[in-house]
Structure 1
Amino acid sequence: MRSSGLVLFACAGLLLSGGAILGGSAAWSLLRMSYYFWTSDLGVELGSSVLFMAGALLCLPTCWLSTLVPYHPRSLSLLATLMTLVTVSMVMLALGLSSITSLSRAVREPQALNESMARAMAIDSFDPAVRSSFAAMQLELRCCGINSYADWYQHRRSLPPACCGRVWNGKRGDQCETPLYVVSCLRPALNELRNFANSLSALASAMIIVMAVTLFATAYTLVSGAVEMRACKPSPLPLRIACLAAPPAPPAPLAPLLTLASPTSPIAINTPPSM
């Protein structure tokens, strides 16, 4: 019991720090890379960040229960709740890792991302959401176009203001003639996606290992506590059945030691025989 308690205390600290790092990095990356939801078809894979954040949030009650269970080793409800939380968090992180795997496959095949961004560029002039997302991507990554800034001339006469480092304000005179960013956006986007996938995969894998150790220590605590409860339980008393019988006979009266005689006769004294 003492060894499992120390393991749970160590896992509680790792879960708290690792959950904060994983949830913070996933949320920050999702906010920074929100434009990929519009400029590519990787929205489902990037949406898997929600699973990472949910699994990281479950680390907070898991950490609290891990520090509470050693003080209540015989509480079956706490142990069962801890095992349930750890299992659900592991399932969420595993589902997130499966989505990240498909995202890594898309990163290894840049042609699919290239075609997706080209389709989005074709409707840039008609869809304000795609226009704002492309502008955010080019300003964030300091790039212009997909493979070259000349890709824009296939769909419009001038470059978007984001290629010159400006935000489009809806005015006709707000155009870009000479691009400030001559780097294409495909390679920086692939690097961002690769870093995103690698960092979340490493953090989620480490968290799954810590949760597996926590689950094993909790199961060991549950089993050892049940064994101790069974060993300390007192043995039941034997069953006793009362039988009604006839009451015992009363004892015979003792012979009197002194016998009173009549007034005319002498007093007789009965003495017990000597031994």
Structure 2
Amino acid sequence: MRSSALVLFVCAGLLLSGGAILGVSTSWNLFRMSYYFWTTDVGVELGASILFIAGALLCLPACWLASLVPYYPKSISILSTLMVLVTAALVLLSTGMTSIMALSKATRDPSMIKTSMLRAMSVESQDLAVKNAFAAMQIELKCCGVNSYSDWSMHRRGLPSACCGRVMNVKSVDRCEYPLYNVGCLRPAVNELRLFVNSLSVLTCSIICVMAVTLFATAYTLVTGVADRTKTLQPLRRRASAPPASPRPAPAPPRPCGPAPPRPAGADKRPQGSYKWKSTDATGGARRASGRREAFSVHSSRSLTRPGAAARGGATIG
């Protein structure tokens, strides 16, 4: 659990720096390249870049919660909230990557951008927003026209003041006789969009990898904390479900110190029943001994009454 908390602490720093860079760079690029919304047909793909800004904003609370995990590793509310924020940020960034793929396809095939820019140039004199967008793009990219400055000759008499590096105002005339930039805006615009797509893709993929590690470490910490809590509560549940134990007997009172109390008189005498039992036992033994002597005398008298007993006896005596 300590290793996962350390990983989350490191990911918190990476999410903070990566989210700040992603959000600030995407916002600045969208603001700076806002002229593409009126001069090209890639406005929808560029507008989807707001998803990156939303994902970058979610990195800030996710960073804060990830930095709290080492101090509260068993807080289920913090871990679950962090997982929800990281998952939402992953969904937003993954959805934004699909729009970047469409924008990357447009940079690989500049014919669509060229067609949309020529179409916008045809209505430049009628739409003030398109006119301002073309002026900003030509000053920012230091270009004039789409392929070259000669493209303006099909839609207006002279060149716009942006081709000379000037911003049109009320007092000045929106006309340029000698263009300052001879190159068209198609190639610089495609190069700028390609650089935006590549940088945004690399930064987003890096943040997605950090978020994946953060999500895995958060899930591991959550599962480990729940398992430890279950092991801790299991003995308590067993004690609660076990039948109540029988009450223990009261302990014996302590034995008083000092000499033993005197015994009452006559306590050492034995009961009379024991002596009576012994006398009865002795009388019975005497009776059995006398009975054996009587049986022996009877047997002797019978042997003397048999024939030849006297002769054998006399011979024996003699």
Q: Same fold (TM over 0.5)?
A: yes
Instruction: Give 1:176 deviation, angstroms.
Output: 0.5
Please, which moves more after superposition, 48-57 or 143-152? Answer: 48-57
* Aligned counterpart for 1:274 among listed residues 269, 285, 288: 269
Report the equivalent of 1:116: 116
* Count of aligned pairs: 249
- Residues 164-243 of structure 1 aligned to structure 2 (within 5 Å): 164-170=164-170, 173-233=173-233, 234-235=235-236, 236-237=238-239, 238-240=242-244
Partner of 1:247: none
Gaps of 5+ in 1: 243-268
How far apart are residue 37 of structure 1 and its match? 0.5
State the SS of the aligned residue for 1:71.
coil
Greater Cα radius of gyration, structure 1 or 2: 2
Alignment match, 2:57: 57
Cα offset for 1:73?
Answer: 1.6
**What is residue 150 of structure 1 aligned with on the other side?**
150
> Aligned partners of 1:149 and 1:175: how far apart in 2?
13
Instruction: Name the SS of the counterpart of 1:194 in structure 2.
Output: helix
- 1:97: Cα distance to partner? 0.8
- Measured in 2, the distance between the counterparts of 1:75 and 1:101 equals 39
Instruction: State the match for 2:15 in structure 1.
Output: 15
Structure 2: give runs of 5+ residues left out of the alignment: 247-263, 271-318
In the alignment, residue 213 of structure 2 is paired with which amino acid? V
Secondary structure class of the residue paired with 1:145: coil
Report the alpha carbon displacement of residue 183 of structure 1 after superposing the two structures with TM: 1.0
Sequence identity of aligned pairs in percent?
Answer: 61
Alpha-carbon RMSD across the aligned residues, in angstroms, is: 1.6
* Cα distance in structure 2, aligned partners of 1:185 and 1:28: 21
* TM-score normalised by length of structure 1: 0.87
Distance across 2 between alignment mates of 1:152 and 1:271: 145
State the shift of 1:239 in Å.
2.3
Q: Which residue number in structure 2 is paired with residue 133 of structure 1?
A: 133
Q: CA deviation at 1:170?
A: 4.1
> Deviation at 1:270?
7.5
| 1:5 equivalenced with 2:9 (yes/no) | no
Which fold has the larger relative contact order, with Cα–Cα distance below 8 Å and residues 6 or more apart in sequence?
1
Q: Flag as ranges the 4+ runs of structure 1 deviating above 3 A.
A: 170-174, 269-275
Render the CA deviation track for 1:95-143: whole Å, top value 9, x for unaligned: 1111000000001110000000011000000000000000000000010
**Judging changes above 3 Å, is the alpha-carbon distance between structure 1 residues 98 and 22 closer, same or farther for their aligned structure 2 residues?**
same
One-letter amino acid matched to 1:239: P
